[in-house]
Structure 1
Amino acid sequence: MEDKHIVEKQQTENLDTKQRAALEKYDAESRFRIFKNKGVGLFVTGIAIALSIYHLYTSYFGTPVTLVHRSIHVAIVLALIYMLYPPFKHAKRHFMPWYDWLFAIAALSTFIYIYMEYEQIVHRGGLPNQWDLIFGFILVVLVLEAARRVTGWGLPLLAVLFVLYGLFGRELPGIFRHRGYEWQDIVNFMYVTTEGIYGTAIGVSATYIFLFILFGAFLQKSGMGQFFNDMALAIAGQTKGGPAKVSVIASGFLGSINGAAVANVVTTGSFTIPLMKKIGYKKNFAGAVESSASVGGQILPPIMGASAFIMAEMLGIPYSDIALAALLPALLFYIGVIVQIHLRASKEGLKGISKDNLPAVKQVMKERGHLLIPLLFLMYMLFLSGRTIIFSAFLTILVTIVVAMLRKTTRMSGRDILQALENGARTALGVAIACAAVGIIVGVATLTGFGIKLANAIVTLGGESLLLTLMFTMVACIVLGMGLPSIPTYIITATMAAPALVQLGIEPLVSHLFVFYFGIFANITPPVALASFAAAGIAGGRAMQTGFISMKLAIAGFIVPYLFVYNDALLLTNNSFGEGIIVVFTSVLGVLMLGAAAEGYFMTTLHPVLRLLLFGGALMFMNPNIFQDIIGFAIIAIVLFFQWIRAKKEGVASLKAI
């Protein structure tokens, strides 16, 4: 009965204070104000709800002209940020100082000016007048300061460096030198065109991203998070190392929907990490399981944290093609994590939770299984209906509300719906402001040709070697992704690093998936591994050690991108059905071997030589080729034989340990 008490306690205990502390330490987006003045609080809530309603309205009835629509989105996002986020980490959060009211009004003025002067702006054809420059300057400053408050110093400092590069690049030597631009040129480009702050990044934020974040807010309010936790417990809780597998399953699904690795670590990890520690996993390992699983959710279709929709927009290819291409690599990533979890449990003799003390699959489905209907409906709309992504998201939100009404335990009241609208808008602020700041970076890169220059530099460093070019690109992506949310990370890496691979003849989709993977994995790669550090904070472990263990658990994710660059069969885009089955089978077998090699255990402890042999055999399987497959099978046979002999000598009577 002790196990049952643990599970019930973890599910029902109020962990808000602990979650809040962890979030605020590692995620600046969570450091918002809680107003003592109810009138001010209701006013801010009303604006957030109005922002959500505006996006729902435009998703059904259509948006205004591009520049106006994007400027509305940015202006209200900025106003909400200055109302909700104090200027410093330890500033008082119970009231709003006069200057933040002023900043919020200034933010709204940037939209009002564009709305009133839109025809004149178009007629001027890119030649700014004095007022264009004034409001453009205001917008740039407001975006940088808002990004600092919400995301921390990294992104705004990078944006400032790019602005300085635009101003003084004429002074640089070598390939990064350009003709130089005046301040007026940069401000004009950022404000009255759709190439700077109002560029592709904020365009996607104002359409796809906001709606899918809102969809996630409605799912969460209906109890989807509890459903994922309960279902994961029912499926995997009783197996060896069960709580760790529960963490992987629940965090993977939630991470795919919300796309927020650190927030996912805190919300899911507050439940799963104590359970992992209770059955015997060491605290660093427990934190690493949660962080690697949460980060992996962002590469998992169908939603991929909304990044798939941005990729579709940037590449001009159907979303369904991207989701299909990303499916097998994402599954390989999670199989690799689960294999290591299972082998660690086998090696250390860790058990799961008693079946009698876990929820039954049938009961979980009876209580909340209907919440899967919105996800199935979304997949139908995206893959089969032929309707736009925006309209599909709008209808799915409505379906979520209706489906939640089917049972009392998930039914949303009018207050719940309003809270979901507010929560969706609040959650979208971090991504939206990051996209606006990224617009400055991408805008300068476009204006100066920096992206092409960086691609040329990477190709030059790599010489004629594709492998070296991939390695330099990987390092660039991890550095560019340090401390950033997944969506702006992808946009930056796609702009700066992907062109290097395209120059070498690699397909654009393959190039973009490669940089996306490594930009995302910056969240678990020391020295700046925010997801791992947050998990270590919950587990009571050491941050850097947790980060390195997270990397080991995610080893398949670090290797698979290289393999699909060399052989895109792993993306299942150019395969027949039969070829696809073979690719899936051999690549899964390869990941199983890779997990065993990483953990150093297979029936019993692996000798270092056999461990290296197994690692090489794993690579043979994961790169589809008939001759390499034969070599892989031979290696498996050799390792199995020696491990069986060694296990028999050590008194292992059966193969149950595997």
Structure 2
Amino acid sequence: MNAVEEYHQDEAGQNLAQKLADEEAGIGRRVKGPLRFLIPGIAVVWSLFQLSIASWLILDTIFIRAIHLAFALTIVFLNFPFFKERHFGLGFLSAKRRIPVLDFMVATVACVSALYIMLDYTGITQRYGLPIGRDIVFGMTLTILLLEGARRVIGPALPVIAICFIGYSFLGPYMPDLIAFKGTSLSRFVGQMTMSSEGIYGIPLDVSATIVFLFVLFGAMLDKAGGGKYFIRLSLSLLGGFKGGPAKAAIMGSGLTGMVSGSSIANIVTTGTFTIPMMKKVGYPATKAAAVEVAASTDGQLAPPIMGAAAFIIAEYVNVPYIEVVKAAAVPAFASYAALFYISHIEASKLGIQGLPRKELPPFMETLLSGVHFLIPLLMLLYELIVKRHSPELSAFNAIWVMALIMVIQEPFKAWRNKQPLVPAFRQSIVNIFSALASGGRNMVSVALATAAAGIIVGVVALGLGGLITQVIDVLSMGNIFLMLVITALASLIIGMGLPTTATYIVMASLTAPAIVMIGGANDFIVPLMSAHLFCFYFGILADDTPPVGLAAYAAAAIAKSPPIATGIQGFMYDIRTAILPFMFIFNADLILHNITSWPQGILIFSMACFGNFAFASATQGWFIAKNRFYEVPLFLGVTFMLMRPDAVAPLLGIPHDQRYWVYPMGMALFGLLFLMQRPRMPVQNSMTAKEAFGNKL
């Protein structure tokens, strides 16, 4: 039997992983009876509304944000019960097969509260800053229900943090001198949060409403059409024959899927259910197989064009075109993935694992052609973004209609080729499109509520806390930029354990990005604002596989039947090579291509960043071409520093700054010396072949 078809699932693990994926995808209740169409129907209408405002429907931006939030709140209260499990004998608060009347009522109130700013827009603009009683009632109702909705779909962490900020905004005058704040009144709070574009209806929600939804919908359509499975088969056909082939195929497949899915858990369930069993069968221990998938799926959010929805918010905060964010993120993201390929090769060398026999792999050309139509909308998207320089929303919209056209044609074409009736196939195509529209809406619930709830924190900071936070961080770091970065990184990891990555980025960027730039300037060191925002974003991503929470690790461990904590620790060890990149590009802006306009120069920087990351991976994994000796680890770290920070090494060698790239040959020479030092110790290959690992099943 073909190796691609021969793999088994552990049912309990699969169920747990799918449960986590359902929560990530916005599936809380599976309603029975006629009402089962209600939630998908609302999600479809939401998707159609978002497609309308991207094409022909012109509305005020506040109206768009309000309607976007109203859809999200309606779905969350209809779709997610108050409790996930039964408590206190109150079964109706945890009902999963029906929608209680109470939730219908709450959903209606939440929807009206979100739309209030639109329904009374003229009156609100005329009394801006002087809310009347009705404004305060609707404003506080929206705030409370937004936090409750976020708790249901995301968990308690973000609402608790938001409540702490709200409490601080009122109790600031009573705080110790170091953190004392002049405070705010209820009228000013409501005016800021629910009657302006500086709070709940702020930039994060705007990006969610105008850009992110379309990219998430595009990813849902691609997945519904079978694009995720195609990427895995294509990756396996291309890389499965190399040493540790299934792991490399998992990395490539997860990277391709993650570029458009923007969700690490969804990525793991899409690709990991296939790749993890394959890795285990060729000899990877369960923990390492799961950890490879965790690292690959988590880092999928680093790769343009979506970057877990944060790329678009970064563009708004930094006030640059979206393509500039893609440019800045490209070198670190792809260098990180290159290093993960390298780590998978190291692990295969340690374990003596070879690739799958070529005859047992799907033929590359046949596999490529079988799904080449999936590449058309992707190429269309990249062409629109990079070549035509169209806005992200227009680019995504054009890619969506191309994807929809392909979905209409795909099933009838299969039926025609197999000599089956065309009408049922065409009907199935329409069902698939509507199913994708429903999935797109459901997938967006968590993003919409995360950005809206994070807007509360942003709004409180805008009330006057920004300067105070910078002072507090300055005191804690004692004005030391290095210590301040470490504090920011640790805070991002801790906060990110309980928040979605987009919300983590919004919170940390609001609190620390301006402080990084300001404290850097106070130390006569210029930190580009883009670097500061990417720094916060990277460590928010890494929180996804940071123990003890790391939901991505739990999802992968469920599939691999490995211990979740051990999987998270191993995944984090793999991701350490990503953790050094933010520290490097803060001090060496070349790594984000800041003021770099030459292609050869950019390619040189990328190549050296890859080799620098390889050296760091060898230092942390204890292996290059043989097991490291203790005195070789500092040399690997030296190679890393020389290839990633030539600007810091050049002055030590008396090399002018404009000639700093001469440090690169020196770093590569040291890397080559390490190769020669380890070559006599290379282990004799006595490896387990994939044929032996699979036995006669192949």
Structure 1 and Structure 2 fold alike (TM over 0.5): yes
Match of 1:76 in 2: 71
Residue in 1 that maps onto 2:296: 293
2: distance between equivalents of 1:336 and 1:272? 19
Does the aligned pair in 1 maintain the 2:200–2:455 contact within 8 Å? Answer: yes
From 330, 351, 354, the equivalent of 2:354 is: 351
User: Out of 480, 484, 492, which is 2:495 matched to?
Assistant: 480
The answer on whether the counterparts of 2:642 and 2:663 sit within 8 Å (CA) in structure 1 is: yes
CA contact (8 A) 1:166 1:448 kept: no
Query: Would the aligned equivalents of 1:610 and 1:639 in 2 still touch at CA under 8 Å?
Result: yes
Question: Which runs of structure 2 are paired with 1:139-178 in the superposition (5 Å)?
Answer: 139-178=142-181
Which residue of 2 is the match for residue 517 of structure 1?
538
CA contact (8 A) 1:312 1:318 kept: yes
1:152 alignment partner, SS class: coil
Show the counterpart of 2:432.
Answer: 416
User: 1:463 and 2:481 equivalent?
Assistant: no
Query: Structure 1 residues 617, 115: closer, same or farther in 2, change over 3 A?
Result: closer
Residue 21 of structure 1 corresponds to 16
The question of whether the paired residues in 2 share the 8 Å contact of 1:452 and 1:496 is answered with: no
**Offset at 1:604?**
2.0
Superposed counterparts of 1:187-266, under 5 Å = 187-266=190-269
Look up the match of 2:679: 644
Maintained 8 Å contact 2:10/2:559: no
The residue aligned with 1:633 is 668
Of 451, 461, 467, 1:435 maps to 451
AA of the residue aligned to 1:8: E
**1:454 and 2:469 aligned:** yes
Tell me the alpha carbon deviations over residues 365-395 of structure 1, each in whole angstroms, 9 at most, x when there is no partner: 2111121111111111112224322222212
Alpha-carbon deviation of 1:94?
0.3
- The alpha carbon displacement at 1:235 in A equals 1.0
8 Å CA contact retained: 2:407, 2:432 = no
Match of 2:418 in 1: none
TM-score when scaled to structure 1? 0.93
Q: Following the alignment from structure 1 to structure 2, what is the Cα–Cα distance between the partners of residues 157 and 487?
A: 17
Take 2:388 and 2:642, find their aligned partners in 1: how far apart are those partners? 39
What is the match of residue 461 of structure 2? 445
Cα deviation per residue 1:150-185 (whole Å; 9 max; x = unaligned)?
Answer: 001111111111111111111111332111223333
Whether the aligned pair in 1 keeps the contact of 2:21 and 2:266 (CA below 8 Å) is no
The match for 1:609 is 631
SS in 2 for 1:181: coil
Matched residue, 2:35: 40
Equivalent-residue separation in structure 1 for 2:233 and 2:675 (angstroms): 36
Deviation at residue 206 of structure 1 after TM alignment = 0.9
Alpha-carbon offset, residue 20 of structure 1: 4.4
Change (3 A) 1:409 1:300: farther
CA displacement at 1:63 relative to structure 2: 3.9
User: Residue type matched to 2:643 in 1?
Assistant: F
Residue 246 of structure 2 contacts residue 275 of structure 2 at CA under 8 Å; is this kept in 1?
A: yes
Structure 1 unaligned segments of length 5 or more: list them. none
- Deviation per CA, 1:334-376: give whole Å up to 9, x if none: 1111111111111211122221121122111211112111111
Distance 2:199 2:239 in 1: 47
Tell me, in whole angstroms, the C-alpha distance in 1 between the residues paired with 2:685 and 2:246. Answer: 26
1:327 is aligned with what amino acid?
Answer: A
Query: Match of 1:173, as an amino acid?
Result: P
1:260/1:485 contact within 8 Å kept: no
- Cα 1:622–1:224 change in 2 (3 A) is same
Deviations 1:271-310 (A, max 9, x none): 1111111111111111111111111111101222332111
SS in 2 for 1:601: coil
Measure, in 2, the Cα distance between the counterparts of 1:557 and 1:315: 23
Q: Is this contact kept in 2: 1:145–1:156, CA < 8 A?
A: yes
Match among 556, 567, 579 for residue 577 of structure 2 = 556
* 1:584-599 equivalent positions in 2, closer than 5 A: 584-599=606-621
Q: CA 1:652–1:14 in 2, change beyond 3 Å: closer, same or farther?
A: closer
- Aligned equivalent of 2:505: 490
**1:506 counterpart = 2:509:** no
CA distance in 1, matches of 2:11, 2:509: 37
How far the C-alpha of 1:506 sits from its partner, in A, is 0.8
Query: C-alpha deviations, 1:471-496, integer Å up to 9, x for none?
Result: 12211222232222222222112111
Alignment correspondent of 2:599: 577
* Residue 107 (structure 2) aligned to one of 98, 104, 107: 104
Deviation at 1:417, TM superposition (A): 1.0
Unaligned runs of 5+ in 2: 86-93, 416-425, 521-525, 647-659, 688-698
Match of 1:432, SS state, is: helix
Structure 2 letter corresponding to 1:454: I
Task: State whether structure 2 residue 550 is matched by structure 1 residue 529.
Answer: yes
Q: 1:8 aligns with which of 5, 8, 31?
A: 5
Which residue does the alignment assign to 1:55? Answer: 50
Q: How many residues align?
A: 645
Partners of 1:362 and 1:578 lie apart in 2 by 31
CA–CA distance in structure 1, aligned partners of residues 223 and 61 of structure 2? 31
CA distance in structure 1 between the aligned counterparts of 2:23 and 2:169, rounded to whole angstroms: 28
Return the offset for 1:465.
Answer: 3.0
8 Å contact from structure 1 (residues 477, 497) kept in 2: no
Report how far residue 123 of structure 1 moved.
0.9
- 1-side partners of 2:119 and 2:603: how far apart? 58
TM-score normalised over the length of structure 2? 0.88
Q: Distance in 1 between matches of 2:624 and 2:321?
A: 42
CA contact (8 A) 2:246 2:278 kept: yes
Aligned twin of 2:523: none
- Report the secondary structure of 1:301's partner residue: coil
The CA distance in 2 between the partners of 1:577 and 1:44, in whole Å, is 49
**What is the aligned-residue RMSD (CA, Å)?**
2.2
Instruction: Give secondary structure in 2 for the equivalent of 1:615.
Output: helix
Summarize the Cα distance change of 1:500–1:186 in structure 2 as closer, same or farther, 3 Å threshold. same
Identity of aligned residues (%): 37
CA distance in 2, matches of 1:365, 1:405: 21
**What's the offset of the Cα at 1:17?**
7.5
Contact 1:321 1:573 in 2 (8 A): no
Q: Contact conserved, 1:166 with 1:181, CA < 8 A, in 2?
A: yes
Secondary structure of 1:8 counterpart: coil
